[in-house]
Amino acid sequence: MLLTFPDVLTPDELRACAADLSAAVWTDGRSTAGAGAVAAKRNEQLPADDATAQRWGNLVLDRLGAHPGFLAATLPLKVLPPMFNRYAGGGTYGEHVDNAIRALPGTTHRVRTDISATLFLADPASYDGGELDIVDTYGSQSIKLPAGHLVIYPGTSVHRVRPVTRGARLAAVFWIQSLVAADGRRRMLWDLDQAVQSLTATDAGHPALVGLTGVYHNLLREWSQT
């Protein structure tokens, strides 16, 4: 399931974030690539313990933790802190699949990467290239969103970032372990949730709502892994 969510950060926050990132010290992004992806990855990123990365990453997670659509789509159990990356001067990330398991920095905990997420932080008119190409059930999708917009997609997807030939592409990437591991099941729960929300908005007293809500929660109870 590939979904986008607009305006995770406000314009003022995006300007402040851009200023902080411009003053940050970037490192080679290959340091966090899996063995099979090192040769394909050419970008820069902020270390996990960087104060700028931690401050803005916490704000992003706070916003998403209060975002009904994001919560309904991902059903999060664990979320890795966002990593901030920068692509410029031909920077690219060739076709790859994200590692299935990632370590939570500074701990012994592990997170299964059911869902991948990219939050775009730069105005798309300020750079050329940098599209996020994702191969999903419905074919290849090319994503280049306005600053502050988020895209989520299955962690099982083959994807790449096209070379950036002008300007700089800034983004935050992170992964979610969902209560429901299977993407197809999350899709059905999302569709059912959206139908319930739509019916509630137009006819809150409809007698079918109790039954539909019960089906949703019974399926979540059946499929969830805690």
Q: List the beta bridge partners of residue 175.
A: 116
Amino acid at 92: T
| pLDDT given for residue 190 in this prediction | 98
The low-confidence residues of the chain, meaning pLDDT below 50, are none
Per-residue pLDDT tens over the stretch 8-33 = 999 999 999 999 999 999 999 877 66
pLDDT of residue 34: 61
Q: DSSP assignment, residue 179?
A: S
Stated pTM of the model = 0.94
User: Taken in order 41, 44, 45, 46, is the CA torsion positive or negative?
Assistant: positive
Domains detected in the chain: 3-178 (2.60.120.620), 183-223 (4.10.860)
Q: With contact defined as beta carbons under 8 Å apart, do 168 and 88 qualify?
A: yes
- Alpha-carbon distance of 222 to 136, in angstroms, equals 26
pLDDT in tens, 88-114: 999 999 999 999 999 988 889 999 999
